[in-house]
């Protein structure tokens, strides 16, 4: 069995930056064990598996260790692959996923994802203390949705953060986002740690924008914002909050195209 395979660097306009995603184009669904084995072999933070045609696909995402319910950068990568390689000229792709219907729309140089908003709420004292202990600094605020969100005082604190990954993995959340107001060339910055999911630090994370964009949109009083992920590879995003949805925009670059032999 041969599977068309693509490697895309997402949320960047430069190869070797942003976040690497694998995209596997299937003619029929694979069993979970095989998809997990392929994702582990790829060693990317996420590999997406697509089944479909004519702009309508199902999508599933796997880290090297688990399946996840929502992934931004691999969805952008999947949309890019469909629009640029599988169905050249297509401007919009719809994905059926564990998080409902998602779309990727090509707008000039950007690929714009339509994702559900996951607004955060304050956490209890015990979880706040656990996040502070994991982070090694006292956050201004700790909130939770799918991910824990630690708000700190300055972008430099985000840049210098060196959390205890064992403690992060023990938190009662999918992952930990650390974020701050920026005010220089973006509205806010962040980093994302998901050691319990097999991703110690994610280079570029679209899914947590479902929580960060509503939070910062409310604080800054604007629906549309720009943000940066301060990982070693770096990443850039645009976001627009519209009710219970968040539009997440970014660029992507195809790095590799080939076949997987199974």
**Other beta carbons within 10 Å of 57:** 24
Nearest to 196 by CA among 176, 229, 169: 169
Nearest to 6 by CA among 187, 224, 260: 260
75 neighbors 81 (Cβ within 8 angstroms): no
**Residue 72 dihedral angles phi and psi, to the nearest 5°:** -85, -50
The catalytic position among 46, 157, 236, 247 is: 46
H-only helix segments in the chain: 32-42, 73-81, 125-135, 155-160, 165-170, 209-220
Active site residue 261: no
> CA-to-CA distance for 132 and 150, rounded, in angstroms?
8
**CB-based burial, 225-250: b 16+ in 10 Å, e otherwise:** bebbbbbebbbbbbbbbeeeebbbbb
**Residue 131 dihedral angles phi and psi, to the nearest 5°:** -65, -45
| Residues with a known catalytic role | 46
């Amino acid at each position: 069995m041969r599977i068309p395979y693509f490697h895309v660097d997402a949320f960047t306009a430069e190869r070797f930056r942003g976040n690497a995603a694998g995209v596997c184009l299937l003619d029929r669904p694979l069993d979970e064990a095989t998809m997990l084995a392929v994702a582990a072999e790829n060693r990317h933070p996420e590999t997406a598996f697509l089944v479909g045609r004519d702009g309508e696909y199902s999508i599933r995402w796997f880290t090297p260790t688990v399946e996840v319910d929502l992934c931004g950068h691999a969805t952008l990568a999947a949309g890019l692959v469909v629009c640029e390689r599988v169905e050249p000229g297509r401007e919009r792709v719809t994905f059926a996923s564990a998080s409902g219907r998602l779309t990727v729309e090509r707008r000039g140089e950007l690929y714009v994802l339509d994702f559900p908003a996951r607004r955060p709420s304050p956490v209890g004292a015990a979880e706040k203390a656990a996040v502070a202990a994991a982070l090694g600094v006292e956050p201004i605020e700790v909130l939770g949705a799918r991910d824990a969100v630690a708000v700190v005082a300055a972008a430099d604190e985000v840049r210098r953060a060196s959390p205890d990954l064992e403690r992060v993995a023990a938190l009662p959340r999918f992952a930990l986002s650390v974020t701050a107001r920026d005010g220089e060339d973006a509205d806010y910055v962040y980093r994302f740690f998901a050691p319990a999911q097999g991703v110690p630090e994610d280079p570029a994370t679209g899914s947590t924008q479902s929580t960060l964009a509503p939070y910062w949109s409310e604080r800054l009083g604007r629906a549309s914002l720009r943000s940066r992920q301060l990982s070693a590879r770096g990443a850039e995003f645009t976001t627009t909050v519209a009710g219970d949805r968040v539009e997440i925009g970014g660029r992507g670059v195809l790095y590799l195209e080939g076949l997987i032999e199974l």
